[in-house]
Structure 1
Amino acid sequence: MAHLSRASSAKTHITDVLDTYLKDVEQPGNEAFLTEVGSDGEDEKFEDKADSFDLEPVNLVLESEGDDSDTKSQTEELSRCSSSDYETDLETDFEPEPKLEDLNGTELYVKLCEQLGVVPLSCVKSNMQKTHFHMPHRGIGSKGVQALAPPISRSTCARYIDLTNNMIGSDGCSHLSLIVNSNMFITDLNLSYNQLGSRGMTVLCLPIRDSSSLVNVDLSNNEFEDKDAPLLSEIIENNISLRSLNLSKNMFCIEAGKVLGTAIANNDTLEVLDLSWNALRLEGAQAFAKGIAGLFKIKIDKA
């Protein structure tokens, strides 16, 4: 009986659905559909449709709920990745390079050598933290001194700078002037045998003249001529810290003897002036001797 009751109820439900559907179909414009559907097959057709109406919407809702949950979990996972691992990788891979002013002397020298295409000298690295920066006969050249100048100008250790015979030339004098202008701890500067010439003397004159720390300066064998004597006289007359100046083995003649003699007469602090191996001749020597007349403190070496 129970089975019959459920079957009767299902049939009643199907009949109701069929009636509703027929009412909708009978609306104006649906007459063609009514003529195609026969009365004998109506129950079977719409019974199948009624069954599908009851089941399919439920399945669709369930699938939709499952998709939402999967999408939500994937979104949460992506959010966790983007907020942790991804940002950390970016920070690690793109660390900014340190600025030149933040590097120590050796690091700065190596970095500048790379930029200038110069091979760094290992002896420079070992001398960078010493008071005696002893670098003679190394063939540094103008580009090499360009890489050396910034770290030496910042050094608080260097007191004695020896760059003897390094082929610096006049092109490197602008970098040497940076050292003299910037570093107030250097007391001894040896630039002998570097072919600085007249153009180099023009660049170095003011920095050496205005230095308040230099005590001993060696400019021997740098191809200075008579026309460079007025620049050197500026140094002699105005630098009161200088005690020793070596101008030997240059190309000074009579006129240089006269100019330097006048300059030395106006200086009472210089103790040693080396003019050996210059062609002052008799006239130049006499003019120079007049300049030092009455000065007993200075020691003169001339030839």
Structure 2
Amino acid sequence: DQNEETSKISESPEPVSLADTSAEKATQGSDTDLDVEDPEKAFAGITGTELYLEACRMVEVVPVSHFVQNYTKPYINLNHRGLGPKGVKAIAIALVSNTTITHLELEDNCILPEGAISIAEMLRENSSLQELNISNNHIDTAGAEAIASLLLDNMSCLHTLHLSGGLYAPKQGWQSHRLCIFVSLQDNHQVKELDLSHNEFSEKGGHLLGNMLASNTTLEILDLSWNYLRRTGTVALGTGLRGNDALKILNLSWNGIGNKGALALGEALKVNNMLVHLDISNNQIDNTGAMKLCMGLQVNGTLKILKMANNPLTMEGATALVTSVRKNPNSVMEEINISNVLVNEAFIKLLDLVYQTHPELDVIYGEVEGRITKFPKQHPNPMKVIQKYLKEHNLQLWEFLSNIDKDGNMKIPVTAFRRAMMQQSSIPLDRVQVRELVSELDRNRTGVVDY
């Protein structure tokens, strides 16, 4: 399915209509011209895969069989196929009138600015595509501006967009294509999930992202991991987060935010009443930073998942985090991940006290001091324990789960399932076994036990 050898582009191309497949060179150095006098007439009355095959002939690329075979299905994965700008242009032409594909993966295809422009133009006309991945495609300024203009005009049906690495330009410093994405998102009312990871936005990007969050009212999931936001960038981001009433999941891992960034996020958590999932793993946050964060955790009533693994925390920081949950009567915390922290027996006792009032909470920590050299405690397989109980009581698994399912919709939130399993006394399971059971019943980590 390799469509073409990628040509070197000397300058950003001007936007080209999807219908305009007339004879012109797509990139400098092309060795063929397209001899099409009237492309609109050529496509008249052609739809579906026939349209795609004709488009491939027009732009002189080899058709992708996987695309042809799955054209009528809702999901198509074309990642890592070397499509190039012409190959993607042919696909974009075919997708203008497609009404079945809702999720398209195009990561790592070197689509370049021309390919991104073709995709953007297609999205203005397509009425079905909702999820798009164009990560790691070197779309440069012209391509990013085309996508940004699309977002600013709210002209597509997209609600999920992955641009991981797509805005990264090594050794070229800060560029306008990063800025235009942020500006366009301020007034976008459709995209709910956005992946901007691995783009090296730096501190300046943090300021622009903070401004975007302060005004955006739609975005619910945002991945900003691996962006070098550092301390000052995160402070600006935290300021925008204070007034945001839409964002629910935020990934800030691997950004070097440090204690100053943790303080800014703690201040934001004091007033933000929407965020439920925060990932600040691998961020050089020590005990001092954890305590600053706890000032927000002590009053916050919405955050459910806090991931802080691989920060230089010790027992002091771990204790502060757990104590903040204990002190907060409104806390709805379900998971705290500090999996690299070595704890002691005093921490385990504190945790047991907190679990009594917060049975839904799961704190993931490292080893327990003094137990490392001992043989690890062996736990019976929780599924086998459940199966034994069901057999003894002549029950089916769905009958057992239905007793926990208060809503009766056959979908149990992990929190409710964990709480029920810890509070029941019929089946002898400890917290470690319940955690394994949750992992088994919710393998895709959807947060729901679907039976």
**TM-score of the aligned structures, taking structure 1 as reference length:** 0.57
Select which of 288, 292, 295 maps to 1:287: 292
Residue correspondence of structure 1 range 28-43 to structure 2 within 5 A = none
| Counterpart in the other structure of 2:395 | none
- Local SS of the residue matching 2:161: strand
In the TM superposition, what is the alpha-carbon distance from 1:107 to its structure 2 partner?
Answer: 6.6
Q: Where in structure 2 are the equivalents of 1:103-252 lying within 5 Å?
A: 118-121=113-116, 124=119, 128=123, 129=126, 130-154=129-153, 155-168=155-168, 170-171=174-175, 172-252=177-257
Cα distance in 2 between the residues matched to 1:162 and 1:138:
11
Q: Distance in 1 between matches of 2:203 and 2:122?
A: 30
Distance 1:136 1:297 in 2: 31
Asked if 1:301 is matched to 2:330, the reply is no
Q: Distance in 2 between matches of 1:156 and 1:123?
A: 14
CA deviation vs aligned residue, 1:94-135 (integer Å, no higher than 9, x gap):
xxxxxx9xx98x579xxxx99xx9433598369733111211
SS in 1 for 2:132: strand
Q: Residue by residue, what CA displacement relative to the aligned partner does 1:76-103 show, whole Å, maximum 9, x if unpaired?
A: xxxxxxxxxxxxxxxxxxxxxxxx9xx9
Relative to structure 1, is the Cα distance of residues 229 and 274 closer, same or farther in structure 2, using a 3 angstrom cutoff? same
Q: CA deviation at 1:297?
A: 3.4
CA contact (8 A) 2:210 2:241 kept: no
* Contact 1:176–1:204, Cα closer than 8 Å, also in 2: no
Q: Identify unmatched segments of 5+ residues in structure 2.
A: 1-14, 21-25, 28-111, 310-451
Q: Between the two proteins, what is the percent identity of the paired residues?
A: 20
Structure 2 distance, partners of 1:150, 1:286, is: 42
Give CA deviations for 1:38-82 in whole Å, capped at 9, x if unaligned.
xxxxxxxxxxxxxxxxxxxxxxxxxxxxxxxxxxxxxxxxxxxxx
Q: How far, CA to CA, are the matches of 2:114 and 2:192 in structure 1?
A: 28
Is the CA contact 1:251–1:279 (under 8 Å) kept in the aligned structure 2?
yes
Report the AA paired with residue 164 of structure 2: T
| Structure-2 change in CA distance of 1:201 and 1:294 (3 Å) | closer
Q: Residue 273 of structure 1: SS of its match in structure 2?
A: strand
Change (3 A) 1:248 1:119: same
Asked whether the 8 Å contact 2:150–2:156 carries over to 1, the reply is no
Q: Secondary structure at the match of 2:115?
A: coil
Which residue of structure 2 aligns with residue 4 of structure 1?
none
Q: Partners of 2:113 and 2:301 in 1: how far apart?
A: 49
1:157-182 alpha-carbon deviations (Å, 9 max, x no partner):
11111101114464222210243134
Aligned amino acid, residue 142 of structure 1 = T
TM superposition shift of 1:193: 0.6
Q: Is the 8 A contact 1:131 1:159 kept in 2?
A: yes
- Structure 1 CA distance for aligned equivalents of residues 117 and 233 of structure 2: 36
User: What displacement does 1:215 show?
Assistant: 1.0
Q: Secondary structure at 1:119's aligned position in 2?
A: helix
Change (3 A) 1:229 1:193: same
Cα 1:182–1:137 change in 2 (3 A) is: same
Which residue does the alignment assign to 1:273?
278
Structure 1 segments of 4+ aligned residues over 4 angstroms from their partners? none
Q: CA deviation at 1:253?
A: 1.0
2:138 partner amino acid: G
Which structure 1 residue ranges, 5 or more long, are not aligned? Answer: 1-99
Q: Given the superposition, is the C-alpha separation of residues 120 and 232 from structure 1 closer, same or farther in structure 2, using an over 3 Å criterion?
A: same
SS in structure 2 at match of 1:120: helix
Larger Rg: 1
Higher helix content, 1 or 2: 1
Query: SS in structure 1 opposite 2:283?
Result: coil
Q: Whose relative contact order is higher, 1 or 2, with alpha carbons under 8 Å and at least 6 apart?
A: 1
CA pair 107-276 structure 1, distance change in 2 beyond 3 A? farther
Cα displacement (A) at 1:232: 1.2
CA contact (8 A) 1:222 1:250 kept: yes
Q: Deviations over 1:202-232 (max 9, x none)?
A: 2232122211111111111100111122211
Q: Secondary structure at the match of 1:295?
A: coil
Distance (whole Å) between structure 2 residues aligned to residue 296 and residue 192 of structure 1: 28
Q: Which position in structure 1 is the counterpart of 2:438?
A: none
Q: 1:205 to 1:173 in 2, by over 3 A?
A: farther
Instruction: Say which SS state the counterpart of residue 245 (structure 1) adopts.
Output: strand
CA contact 2:246–2:274 (8 Å) conserved in 1: yes
Instruction: State the Cα deviation string for residues 230-286 of structure 1 (Å, max 9, x = none).
Output: 211122210011111111111111221122112112212111111011101111112
Work out the number of aligned pairs and report it: 195
